[in-house]
Amino acid sequence: MVIKKICCIGAGYVGGPTCSVIALKCPDITVTVVDKSKERIAQWNSEKLPIYEPGLDEVVRQCRGINLFFSTNIATAIKEADLIFISVNTPTKTFGNGKGRAADLKYVESAARIIADVATGHKIVVEKSTVPVRAAESIMNVLRANQRSGVSYQILSNPEFLSEGTAIDNLLNADRVLIGGEDTNEGNAAVEELCWVYEHWIPRINIITTNTWSSELSKLAANAFLAQRISSINSLSAVCEATGANVSEVAMAVGRDSRIGPKFLQASVGFGGSCFQKDILNLVYICECLNLPEVAAYWQQVIDINEYQKSRFSAKIIESLFNTVTDKQIAILGFAFKKDTGDTRESPAIHVAKTLLDEGAKLHIYDPKVVIFNISCYYFNVENCQILEDLTHPYITDEPENVKDSITIHSNAYSATSGTHAIVVCTEWDEFTALDFQKIYKNMIKPAYVFDGRMILNHEELAKIGFVVHTIGKRMSRTGINRSWGTPYRV
């Protein structure tokens, strides 16, 4: 079989960019991305795409209407496709068995059921979503139990490793593409078909093939390893603050060991994003179900340190501001979980903002992209609503009206910081490093504080201007006053 048509179920942060790049690199293949959300599909077909991702607009512009289509006609796209990616969301379960830890596979199951209902001929079904180990078996069970004559399936696992903010570059120059399949003639043939798609632009040596379960587990393992590095350096940032060591210097020295390497050693207010926490919790749950409590406890610590880091940073802001932020004006710079994305899922900014709101602070929030790009805005017809939606979510508050009254969303950093007691940097947007802090200082209430949760600002310059500066993993001093965050270290 030669793959001529691909359907992708799920037009989200993964389905959209991944299929846009496949369309770009495979002009001989027609790619249709489908979603049950009419609003999302309308945005993919508009000038303002539903997600902000550097380089994405250009790729979509080149292919849309030629060999790349976005549609809500799920059944037709499935019927016509030779290969179907399942790229739906797999959030953490919020109720029932495994609540708060297990992955909720209801969207994967619903995608499998639609395929079973409408498929004709032979289909290669590819798990693109991040799933628990052996999820392919559950998908196959749904497909087989509903199989009609003349229909056959092969299931592959092809997890996605892109990072938001760099998705297009990650897809174009992937370190590796991982494809897992059944070790049978039919399974190997399906693996080869998918390899052929990626070989349009990925060197074969970078396409790894494994058994299905290894592929599924490798995705969880990769995210767990990456998050573990961040929690490791964040745990050491607390030691640095208590001792006078500098976490950037420690990270640099440790990362120069070629066995360790320098990446993912940037201490921060904590990791966020839709993947790390969800996937580690999923891994922890799987280990518990497999009666491997020691392994579960090991990975749980990665999450626990992340919670500790977010709480530690939030507590230090309050403590530094004379132990009360009630009615204080505080600017939050950055609300996305990292730079170059408008995504706020599990953003550490939510934790920091919630803590400050609980203490009675008035928040002035600015983010360069969350403000503008927001899928939910279409439902509420309000710009800026993602931030409000996050902070008034029932998990965050049971007093949404009070929260709304305590938040102002700004369209630039100067207006957000004007008249405030403190600035809290939650996202490492490049534009924050280029701000005129002299001007900002003049318009703030004194003493003016900066809490740099991303270690991106020039702290010495800020201190010279007059700011009281706090950051992660480094003791700050001004006029000889030790502004250590930790318990004073005594030998």
Give the residue, chosen from 20, 43, 67, 90, that forms a contact with ligand NAD under the rule CB under 6 A.
90
Is 272 a residue that touches ligand UDX (CB under 6 A)?
yes
10-69 residues near ligand NAD, rule: CB under 6 A = 10-15, 35-37, 40
Give the residue, chosen from 119, 126, 133, 162, that forms a contact with ligand UDX under the rule CB under 6 A.
162
Tell which residue, 317, 307, 309, has the closest CA to residue 363. 317
In angstroms, the CA 252 to CA 250 distance is 5
Residue 337 binds which entry of ligand NAD, ligand UDX, none, CB below 5-8 Å type-dependent: ligand UDX
Binding site members: 10-15, 35, 40, 88-92, 129-130, 164, 275-278, 345
Is 300 a residue that touches ligand NAD (CB under 6 A)?
no
Annotated catalytic residue 275 = yes
Residue 473 structure tokens: 């993993």
Strands (E), 121-225: 122-127, 152-157, 177-181, 207-211
Q: How many CA atoms lie within 13 A of 210 on its CB side?
A: 16
Tell which residue, 169, 147, 152, 137, has the closest CA to residue 55. 169
Q: Which is nearer to ligand UDX, 50 or 272 (CB)?
A: 272
Give the residue, chosen from 112, 136, 220, 275, that forms a contact with ligand UDX under the rule CB under 6 A.
275
Which of 275, 287, 377, 426 is labelled catalytic? 275
CB 422 within 8 Å of CB 451: yes
Residue 59 binds which entry of ligand UDX, ligand NAD, none, CB below 5-8 Å type-dependent: none
Length of the chain in terms of residues written = 491
Cβ 36 to ligand UDX shortest distance, Å: 23
Q: Is 400 helix (H, G, I), strand (E, B) or coil?
A: helix
Cβ 336 to ligand UDX shortest distance, Å: 9
Tokens 């006029």 sit on residue: 479
28-67 residues near ligand UDX, rule: CB under 6 A = none
Give the residue, chosen from 223, 237, 471, 484, that forms a contact with ligand UDX under the rule CB under 6 A.
223
| Helix 247-255 / helix 212-243 crossing angle, nearest 10 deg | 140
Residue 89 binds which entry of ligand NAD, ligand UDX, none, CB below 5-8 Å type-dependent: ligand NAD
Name 141's Cβ contacts closer than 8 Å, sequence gap at least 6.
Answer: none
Among the candidate windows 32-40, 101-109, 160-168, 316-324, which touches ligand UDX by CB under 6 A?
160-168
Count of Cβ atoms closer than 10 Å to residue 490 Cβ: 4
Cβ 163 to ligand UDX shortest distance, Å: 4
Name 39's Cβ contacts closer than 8 Å, sequence gap at least 6.
Answer: 50, 375, 378, 379
Q: Is 434 helix (H, G, I), strand (E, B) or coil?
A: coil
Binding site members for NAD(+): 10-15, 35, 40, 88-92, 129-130, 164, 275-278, 345
CB 348 within 8 Å of CB 310: yes
Residue 474 binds which entry of ligand NAD, ligand UDX, none, CB below 5-8 Å type-dependent: none
Is 107 a residue that touches ligand NAD (CB under 6 A)?
yes
Q: Which is nearer to ligand NAD, 35 or 359 (CB)?
A: 35
Is 350 a residue that touches ligand UDX (CB under 6 A)?
no
In angstroms, the CA 271 to CA 259 distance is 23
Name 22's Cβ contacts closer than 8 Å, sequence gap at least 6.
Answer: 6, 29, 31, 197
In angstroms, the CA 148 to CA 237 distance is 58
Under the phi-then-psi rule, with left for phi > 0, alpha for psi from -120 to 50, and beta for the rest, what region is 489?
beta
Among the candidate windows 158-166, 175-183, 194-202, 483-491, which touches ligand NAD by CB under 6 A?
158-166
Q: Which amino acid would we find at residue 332?
A: I
Could you give the residue numbers annotated as active site?
275
Residues that bind ligand NAD (CB under 6 A): 9-15, 35-37, 40, 74, 87-90, 107, 110-111, 129-130, 160, 162, 164, 274-275
Residues that bind ligand UDX (CB under 6 A): 160-164, 223, 226, 230, 264-266, 268, 271-273, 275-276, 337-338
